[in-house]
Amino acid sequence: MLPSKFSLHNGCEIENRRK
């Protein structure tokens, strides 16, 4: 997997958990 895609996915997951 590309680091860019991984970073984006991680950010989405973190934001979702923060909500």
| pTM summary value | 0.10
Q: Determine the pLDDT at residue 1.
A: 58
Q: Determine the pLDDT at residue 17.
A: 82
At 4, list the tokens: 């860019």
**What does the pLDDT look like over 1-19, one tens digit per residue?**
566 677 777 777 878 787 7
Q: Determine the pLDDT at residue 15.
A: 80
Q: Determine the pLDDT at residue 2.
A: 65
From CA 10, how far away is CA 4, in angstroms rounded? 10
Stated as kind and residue range, the H or E segment containing 15 is helix 3-18
